[in-house]
Amino acid sequence: MPTPSMEDYIEIIYNLIDTKGYARVSDIAETLEVHPSSVTKMVQKLDKDEYLLYEKYRGFMLTEKGKKVGERLVFRHELLEDFLEIIGVEKENIYNDVEGIEHHLSWNSIDRLGDLVKYFKEDQQRLDDLKEIQLRKKK
Amino acid sequence: MPTPSMEDYIEIIYNLIDTKGYARVSDIAETLEVHPSSVTKMVQKLDKDEYLLYEKYRGFMLTEKGKKVGERLVFRHELLEDFLEIIGVEKENIYNDVEGIEHHLSWNSIDRLGDLVKYFKEDQQRLDDLKEIQLRKKK
DNA sequence: AATAATTTTTATCTAATGCAAAATTGTTTC
DNA sequence: GAAACAATTTTGCATTAGATAAAAATTATT
């Protein structure tokens, strides 16, 4: 099982490769706001645990295992962002909150949250009713 | 700001005092499943940060600051348990999930989740509709 | 007073990070 | 194309939060 921090790295690497075609130490360091040396160290660990193949100074690619995990992590992240956005959490809180909780929810909870997102997307009236409750106490 | 781990301790201490009238090192160690020595160390830290008053070998009591924080933490914990229970997360996952995420949500998110709990408690039909969605894919 | 239970101290461990210096790779200039 | 310089990556060492384990200190019980 990957630790929360390992999950962060896998997720970001997956996203970078998906959008740019490759991932470099410095990209990751910038995104995660950590030092390059920390990235190198984690990459070496992820290689040891076979989430990616690493050749020093030359880069790395996700293994099948890494891709599979990465895909799920990205799905989970996006679902949680969707959810918080739908229930009306302010934009500036969403990223940090998702970042904080994504590693700590069982897949059972993730599934139920998925249902909930579907519930609200399926019928606008439901969201309107929720918004109405939110407006009440603002007075 | 207390760290996640500090929050765990404050929350449990608050609960113990609330239900038993006092909190001892060994109770906390048992509840949190850590060693007594870890508890002592954290209690000393919480004393330094003025969440509680500590006299070695004699026990400790929450300060006003500690009580205030503890009360909010307990409220937040219960709200999150309510929420996961309502949306149908299995009992055996609820405690761990709440334990994991409670320290990582902004109060903005907590407020919105509060609205959501109210939304479902207010009208049974809404919950029925959600359950209906959940049943769909079970087939 | 002797023994048991609890609490505390000390030393050690792990995961993750930071910083500085060294190694490697990339780029420019001649 | 080679030498000089720049950028990136890696290594080694230090640090932090939190936990463990075993031994020492204190308090409680018989």
Q: Which tens digits make up the pLDDT trace of B35-92? A: 999 999 999 999 999 999 999 999 999 999 999 999 999 999 999 999 999 999 999 9
Q: How large is the greatest C-alpha to C-alpha distance in chain A, in angstroms?
A: 60
Show residues of chain B in contact with A122, CB under 8 Å. Answer: 133
Candidates B99, B122, B133; nearest CB to A119: B133
Per-residue confidence (pLDDT) for residue A66, from 0 to 100: 96
Q: How far is A123 from chain B (nearest CA, A)?
A: 11
pLDDT < 50 stretches in chain A: none
B139 falls in which pLDDT band (50, 70, 90)? low
Enumerate residues 111 to 130 of chain A having a beta carbon within 8 A of any beta carbon in chain B: 112-113, 115-116, 118-119, 122, 126, 129-130
Show residues of chain B in contact with A88, CB under 8 Å. Answer: 112, 115
The per-residue pLDDT of chain B, averaged, comes to 95
Per-residue confidence (pLDDT) for residue B55, from 0 to 100: 94
The per-residue pLDDT of chain A, averaged, comes to 95
Candidates A88, A105, A126; nearest CB to B101: A105
Q: How far is B139 from chain A (nearest CA, A)?
A: 15
Residue B53 host element (H or E)? strand B52-55
Task: From B108, B102, B7, B82, select the one nearest A100 (Cα to Cα).
Answer: B102
Helix (H), strand (E) counts: chain B: 7, 2
Does B130 have pLDDT greater than 70? yes
Per-residue confidence (pLDDT) for residue B73, from 0 to 100: 96
Q: How far is A78 from chain B (nearest CA, A)?
A: 16
B136 falls in which pLDDT band (50, 70, 90)? confident
Show residues of chain B in contact with A106, CB under 8 Å. Answer: 89, 93, 96-97
Per-residue confidence (pLDDT) for residue A136, from 0 to 100: 87
CA distances from B1 to A74, B4, B66, B76, B77 (A): 30, 9, 12, 16, 18
Is A100 in Cβ contact with B104 (below 8 Å)?
A: yes
Chain C, protein-covered positions (CB within 7 A): 6-11, 15-21, 24-25
What does pTM read for this prediction?
0.90
